[in-house]
Amino acid sequence: MVATGRRQGSVFGKSCRVDGRFVPNRDANAALCGRKVIGMEIAVNRSIETIEAMNQTATAHAAKPTGTSSLDDYINRAHHLVPAPAVLPQLLPLLNQPDVNTGRVVELISYSQTVTANVLRICNSAYYSRGTPIDSLAMAVSRIGFRQIYEIVVSVISAATLARPQKGYGVEGNEMWCHSVTSAIAAQIIAREAQLDEQVVFTAAILHDVGKIVLSVALEDRKEQVQKEMRNNLSPLELELKLLGVNHAEVGGRLLEKWKLPEHLCQPVRFHHNPAGANGHGKLAACLYLGNFVAYFMGNGFGQHALDLKGRDAALKLLDLSSDRLPQFMASTQEQFKKVKHMYNLN
Ligand SMILES: [Fe+2]
Ligand SMILES: [Fe+2]
C-alpha cells in the first residue's frame, strides 16, 4: 500500500529537525549518548558489531526445548490477559476508503465507553485541541481527521493490554508500553520514508511484542531457569525458544490471526525479528524490525537484553534505505515520543 501523505499534524507523524541530542541509553549500549547525529551514527554501528558478537555467543548456548506447548496452548492459557480488540478489524478497512463516513467511525468507536473517554481526553490535549474544546467523537473525527483518530484509538486499545508489568521477563511498570509506542513511532517514520501505509505499520508495530504478554505467564513459572539463562546473556528470543519451544513473534502473529486481523498485520508481527521470512509482507516486517531497533537504541528496550537485533542491514535493504538514515530516524522518534509521553502521562 502507498502512503497517503496526510499525516502532517499528528503527534505520531510530525517530522522534526535533526539537531537534538538523545537521552542516555538505559541498556548496555551507553556509547550511544552522542550529542550530534554523526556521533550517533558511529555509535550505532559500533554497538551493532558488539551486539552481533554477543548474539553469536548467546546462540552457542541455545539448546533443544523441553516440556513445551503449542502456540495455541500458550494463547489459551493467557487469553484473559489479551482480549481481542473488537473495533480494530472493523476500523482497518476504512483506512482504504477515500471518503470515510464519520457516522460509521463514531458508531464503531463509541461501542466502548473507556475508548471513547480516552479518545476525547487525548483530543482535548494541548496538542490537538488548540484551545477549542472537542466535546464529541463526531467533532473529533471531523476536526482531527480519521487517520489521526484511528492512531489514537489503536494507542488507547493497546495501552489497556500492554501497559502492565511482564514479570516473566523481569519487566516492571509500563516499560513494555513505552517500548511499543517508541517502536510504533519509529516504524511509522520509516514507513513514510519507504512510502508504505503509515497507519498499518503503526498498528502492527504497537502490537509487535504482544506475544510477550502470553509467554510472560509461562516464563513466570520457570523463574529460576529464566534468571540463569539471562545471566548467560541469552536474548528474550533465544530464551523463549530454549525454555518454551516457541518465540513471542510467532505467538503474537498467531494471536492477531485469532483476533481476525488481516494478514498484512499478522505476518509482519510474526516476522518482526526476521523480515525476510514474511512472505509478501517483508517491507512491513522490516519497518517493525527497524522500529524495534530504534526503540532499543533510544533506551526504550524491553528488559536488559537487547541482543536479538541482528539483521539490521537485511531490513534496510528490503526497504531500500541506507544506514545513514538511522540517526535521523532516532532523532525524529525521540522528538515525537516526548509529546506522546506528555499526552499519555508516561514517565
Ligand atoms: Fe520482539
Ligand atoms: Fe520489541
Residue 166, φ and ψ in degrees, nearest 5: -120, 85
Q: Is residue 318 one of the residues assigned to a domain?
A: yes
pTM, whole model, 2 decimals? 0.80
CA of 116 to the centre of ligand 1 (A): 29
Percent of the chain with pLDDT over 90: 51
Per the domain annotation, does 10 fall within a domain?
no
Measured in Å, residue 272 CA sits from the centre of ligand 1 at: 7
Residue 68 pLDDT level (bands cut at 50, 70, 90): low
Q: Average pLDDT, stretch 97-121? A: 90
Question: Hey, what's the cell of 233?
Answer: 546473556
pLDDT of the residue at 302? 67
Q: How far is the CA of 140 from the centre of ligand 2 (A)?
A: 31
Instruction: Tell me: pLDDT of 161 over 90.
Output: no
Q: What is the pLDDT, as a whole number, of residue 39? A: 46
Cβ–Cβ contacts within 10 Å for residue 56, how many?
10
The number of the ligand nearest the C-alpha atom of 211 reads 1
Q: Tell me: pLDDT of 51 over 60.
A: no
CA 129–ligand 2 middle distance (angstroms): 32
If 0-12 CB within 10 Å is exposed, 13-18 middle and 19+ buried, where does residue 209 land? Answer: buried
Residue 337 in this model has a pLDDT that exceeds 50? yes
| Averaged pLDDT, 99-115 | 90
Ligand in nearest proximity to the CA of 176 = 2
Cα(142)–Cα(149) distance, integer angstroms? 10
Q: Which ligand is nearest to the CA of 235?
A: 1
- Give the SS3 label for residue 124: coil
- Asked, for residue 21, whether it belongs to a domain, the answer is no
C-alpha cell at 237: 528470543
Mean pLDDT of 113-141: 88
- CATH code of 141's domain: 1.10.3210.10
The C-alpha atoms of residue 165 and residue 252 are separated, in whole angstroms, by: 17
Position 238 scores a pLDDT of 87
Q: How far is the CA of 302 from the centre of ligand 2 (A)?
A: 7
pLDDT value of position 141:
93
Domain count, the chain: 1
How far is Cα 71 from Cα 100, in angstroms, rounded to an integer? 37
Q: Which ligand is nearest to the CA of 236?
A: 1
| Structural domain contains residue 319 | yes
Average of pLDDT values for 177-198?
Answer: 95
pLDDT at residue 326 is higher than 60: yes
Range of the domain at 102: 30-343
Distance 176 CA to ligand 2 centre (A): 8
Ligand with the closest atom to the CA of 273: 1
DSSP secondary structure of 76-117: HHTGGGS---TTHHHHGGGGG-SS--HHHHHHHHTT-HHHHH
Is the residue at 23 inside a domain? Answer: no
More confident call, 273 vs 38: 273
**How far does the centroid of ligand 1 lie from the alpha carbon of residue 236, in Å?**
8
* Ligand 1 midpoint to CA 237 (Å): 7
Q: Report if residue 15 sits inside a domain.
A: no
Residue 157, in any domain of the structure: yes
Is 89 inside a domain boundary? yes
pLDDT digits 0-9 by tens, 1-36: 333 333 333 445 433 323 222 233 333 333 333 333
Ligand 1 centroid from CA 248, angstroms:
7
pLDDT given for residue 59 in this prediction: 38
Q: Ligand nearest 302 Cα, by number?
A: 2
Single-letter amino acid code for the residue at 179: H
